[in-house]
Amino acid sequence: MNREATSNRGSFFIVTFYVLVYYINSTLIQGAIVCQFIEGYGKRKCR
């Protein structure tokens, strides 16, 4: 039972990770939001 719980937690983590990567990539395509994010947290000006 512990093995199933661990595998389910791992699968949930993997799915969440890929969703975050997909969301970040789609945001990078938009560009402006990432530009503002980098400018705000990275103290870098947008080109």
Name the DSSP letter for residue 7: H
In a domain, 33, yes or no: yes
* pLDDT tens string 2-46: 677 678 888 999 999 999 888 877 766 677 666 777 666 666 565
Which structural domain, as residue segments, surrounds residue 22?
18-47
Q: Report pLDDT for 29.
A: 65
In a domain, 6, yes or no: no
Count how many domains the chain has: 1
Q: Report pLDDT for 12.
A: 92
In a domain, 47, yes or no: yes
- pTM equals 0.43
